[in-house]
Structure 1
């Protein structure tokens, strides 16, 4: 396998500490920042089969309470708010972070007001993002946070992540600092945030970004249970003694490597168009795992086209000093996208991933979940029922296929 000749050292950035209104300022220096959770954003739009997500029309005088699962813990937290796909400025009137109790309620005493340059509000320009000041909040690895964001004025369509396998919450008025769940109703999508960093212990030396489609994102996993394959990988890494890493999920349901899905912005921009934002700017990124391409095959892209896309992703990762691991595309025999021509493309792409030597390592997801007597189909125990998306057990098998020593090699 190709070895990188040089790996860029992660810079430690000294952040100013700002006193927040709820005794939640960043405290003494210590630890270092790593991405612990992220969600790849898409443009706000109406989704025909998910009308309860309000991102298409936007919010006004409402608070969204996002529920996020941390892959790593630490002594402090900071949050990235986003207007990446907005066409006009959005003012954040208040925001907070807390440890989740039951549903929309916080664990008592954990609500922390978020500030931005010492202010409780911030205006996000169209296409912009903002990083909150750090707050002191001890959070455990594999724990769940509530990130609440209040918008006082009408926003128009909101940047969001629509397919979450996670129940979130929405309330009228500014309830960003409320410790209770009173007034909150259900909401299926993450809105206005796309990242949470933690001030981690030394053993969490950086983050691993999983770049993919619905199989990485959420599809067919049990809701509110955090059973995506990157979640299982985070559990493996957290249980490992010594040096380890956090895991960032940069999966997008329906996403393609090569092209957008015209008229359907909720599938996101292609992987080749989101590398900088969704992968390279993640805090402390040290490695990338790529497992994408099944949607390109479903749109009848050829093996040569998909491989060329992979080569460009590899080149850009290496230009950033990052090792990148190629994941084979999981089987889809018996699914709605199966044709003889598409299976031939799948075989050719996976053969290249396994044998080309262009990746820094290979994760053979396909073999991990394939039926013993048919490598072109998911094993029944790992099949969600659509013969395309692995179920919870399949996602765990995928995570178990990752070679941790190779992933953690410096």
Structure 2
């Protein structure tokens, strides 16, 4: 059977130099950074992607290793392997660039936790990163990339430089890209427990998987936290190897985040035009596109987030998403998680506590809204 490289894991990144930051950016100097990657899909070989997209100086990686995770910061020692880049055990990634490792003979299955350890010997400057991945990264002094565990390591909640794992697998595997905001990235779900909505969806899928390209705070139309969806669609969806479908979940931050910054929300017409453009680009690339309705956020505790104008636009856009026929399928997240007595609010059983994000049960309800027959995965 013919094999191909497809995405088995993805992690969308932002610039540490953005004006609005939801978590603290940082850099490294003579430290080992050990990161946990929860695989959406598996294969007989893997290769790791590293990005210095937003770095302002070259990134030197003196040693890089990959292994299966045993627990916390501990690896399964017998699976440990050196990552090589064009045959070398070290690599320098120019500012603004990315690299892909040579293939590694490490068979993995969906649901496996891989651990990637990077020794960064020089001052990196602020790191290109995924800012709210709902997972712990372990940082220790010096080169400890090959040690089995890192007792006493600093624990941080970002993911740095790692943007993906490709897997070599059967040609007929289908891959969906979950392209959206915090409701995909997993804010509000139990940290380190893989309870994101995309994880819950993957537990339902049988003939493929979904990789997670969510960025908390990301918007459809405007840069602020990460490049906006229309700007990053080429890189974070169309360039994903093996992608056959895209699931889009945007809108809350176009409607709520501007209020926190003292600006008016996007209009319904602006959002509709943006969604229509995403659908056009997906169909031009022969990808099926499935759209989520915009979830409720009237109970958000963040100042200025839940304006009457924003909530009215949400209802108008959702009706268009449901009825316009623009998308191959719609998953009605809004109805799946709303409080029937107050439809602009998240149901109390699904609220993480801030009126804006879903807890574990809410993430499962969001995943359950996806029609698997329409998704064909």
TM-score scaled to structure 2, two decimals? Answer: 0.92
The CA deviation at 1:49 is 7.0
Moved more, 247-256 or 333-342: 333-342
Secondary structure of the residue that 2:70 maps to in structure 1? coil
Secondary structure of the residue that 1:195 maps to in structure 2? strand
Residue of 329, 336, 342 corresponding to 1:361: 329
Q: In the superposition, relative to structure 1, how do residues 368 and 100 fare at CA in structure 2: closer, same or farther (>3 Å)?
A: same
Q: Which runs of 5+ in 2 are unaligned?
A: 259-264
Q: Is the 8 A contact 1:211 1:290 kept in 2?
A: yes
Q: Which runs of 5+ in 1 are unaligned?
A: 1-28, 262-266
Aligned to 1:252: 215
Partners in 1 of 2:134 and 2:87 — Cα distance? 34
Q: Deviations over 1:56-106 (max 9, x none)?
A: 3x2121111111111112221110011011122112211111100121110
Partners in 2 of 1:190 and 1:393 — Cα distance? 25
Aligned to 1:210: 178
Q: In the superposition, relative to structure 1, how do residues 48 and 310 fare at CA in structure 2: closer, same or farther (>3 Å)?
A: closer
Q: Is the 8 A contact 1:331 1:375 kept in 2?
A: yes
Q: Is the 8 A contact 1:211 1:291 kept in 2?
A: yes
RMSD: 1.8
Residue of 80, 91, 94 corresponding to 1:111: 80
Aligned to 1:40: 12
Partners in 1 of 2:88 and 2:174 — Cα distance? 29
Residue of 358, 362, 367 corresponding to 1:394: 362
Aligned to 2:340: 372
Q: Is the 8 A contact 2:22 2:131 kept in 1?
A: no
Residue of 242, 248, 254 corresponding to 1:290: 248
Partners in 2 of 1:48 and 1:405 — Cα distance? 39
Write out aligned runs for 1:8-407 (5 A): 31-45=3-17, 50-51=23-24, 55-56=25-26, 58-182=27-151, 184-201=153-170, 205-237=173-205, 240=206, 244-261=207-224, 267-298=225-256, 299=258, 300-336=265-301, 337-407=305-375
Secondary structure of the residue that 1:236 maps to in structure 2? coil
Partners in 2 of 1:48 and 1:72 — Cα distance? 31
The CA deviation at 1:181 is 2.5
Q: Is the 8 A contact 1:149 1:192 kept in 2?
A: no
Partners in 1 of 2:128 and 2:306 — Cα distance? 33
Aligned length: 366
Partners in 2 of 1:93 and 1:304 — Cα distance? 50
TM-score scaled to structure 1, two decimals? Answer: 0.85
Partners in 2 of 1:94 and 1:276 — Cα distance? 30
Secondary structure of the residue that 2:77 maps to in structure 1? coil
Q: Deviations over 1:97-141 (max 9, x none)?
A: 110012111012011110011111111111100010111112221
Partners in 1 of 2:197 and 2:126 — Cα distance? 30
Secondary structure of the residue that 1:318 maps to in structure 2? helix
Q: Is the 8 A contact 1:219 1:389 kept in 2?
A: yes
